[in-house]
Structure 1
């Protein structure tokens, strides 16, 4: 499909493994349920397309624009989304194990009802994103921006949140186990209900934040700054 104009084409439930999308033009195309493994889409503009229920595992999508796309129940296991733009995308009930989101833009995204293991979100921007009923295991958010987020009933187990910047976010019912939050910044953030167990808060900066009904066990608060 190199150089092809595939605007508005419905590829639902088709086997498109290994297709080369180089220089192809996309608009209003539908890929729901398709198998896209091995496709060439690095750096493409895939905005507002429907990839619900597709298999995109292992794809190289570095720098790809996936703004406002539908990625509902999509298989993105092992996919490289480094530096990709996913602003406003629906990533609910999606398989994200071993996926690389380093430096990606996930502003206003919706992430709901899924379990994620060994994913990397280092330096990613989640401004105004919604995260609900998501379990993260052995994942990393180092240096990520989590501003103005709505986070509810999220569990973090062996997760690296060091140097995360979280401002004006609302958090409810969060559970954090055996995780690194050193040098995290909480500014005007509200946390209502949760449990922190074996958590490293060394050097954390907490400004004008409100933390209520949070149980803490074996938490390292050395050098924490409260303002």
Structure 2
């Protein structure tokens, strides 16, 4: 199986090149009995995308655009999402396993009670997104992503890595982060630094965290005071 590895974190990618696997083109992600398998869904431009109680398995979703997206109780196994634009995404009570999101726009997305296991986000835009009670039960990688002003609330990201990503004003509000690898990103404008206990950083990033903490505590530097 193909993998994507950054430092100590390796994500197992969707197994779509296995001998004997043929992906059929489909015109909808709503399959019979709530299951769509061995599929390729491409270049759809939708006003609304609503999926519930559905299992997507062994497939590619490319160039999908949806102005409003609601996903609930969705199970994803071995699926690639490439070049998708899912505006106003609301994704709840779901499990995503062996999935890759590449070049996708997920701005303002809201993920709640979603479990991640071997998931790659690469060159994706997740600005202003909110992840609530999202759990990484297996390795998760965010590589070269924009997470500007995103909020991680009560999440468990101990098995995750965020590398070479835009973390300006990204907020961490509670949760579990032991082992979260933040090497390779600028941490100086993070919010909620005190939640990030037992994370992995480079020594050079210590000053970046100190800068972020100073802003969070709203400290005043003595040399800036007018003592006259």
- Scaled to the shorter chain, the TM-score interval is 0.7 to 0.9
Aligned counterpart in structure 2 of residue 172 of structure 1, from 158, 181, 191: 158
2:119 maps to 134
Work out the number of aligned pairs and report it: 190
2:34 maps to 49
By percentage of residues, which structure has more strand?
Answer: 2
1:118 maps to 103
1:100 maps to 85
CA distance in 2: counterparts of 1:58 and 1:89, whole angstroms: 21
| Partner SS for 1:199 | coil
Residue by residue, what CA displacement relative to the aligned partner does 1:46-79 show, whole Å, maximum 9, x if unpaired?
Answer: 8973222222121223412112222122221111
Aligned counterpart in structure 1 of residue 50 of structure 2, from 47, 51, 65: 65
Structure 2 unmatched runs, 5+: 1-22, 218-228
Question: Which gives a bigger RCO, structure 1 or 2 (Cα 8 Å, sep 6+)?
Answer: 2
Q: Decide whether the 8 Å contact of 2:129 with 2:149 is kept in 1.
A: yes
Structure 1 unmatched runs, 5+: 1-32
Counting only pairs closer than 5 Å after superposition, residues 12-23 of structure 1 correspond to structure 2 as: none
Aligned CA-pair RMSD: 2.6
CA distance in 2: counterparts of 1:48 and 1:146, whole angstroms: 29
Assess, with a 3 A threshold, how the Cα gap between structure 1 residues 170 and 120 changes in structure 2: closer, same or farther. same
- TM-score for both structures, normalised by structure 2: 0.73
Aligned counterpart in structure 1 of residue 182 of structure 2, from 196, 200, 203: 196
CA distance in 2: counterparts of 1:75 and 1:148, whole angstroms: 27
Q: Decide whether the 8 Å contact of 2:30 with 2:36 is kept in 1.
A: no
Asked whether 1:214 is paired with 2:200, we answer yes
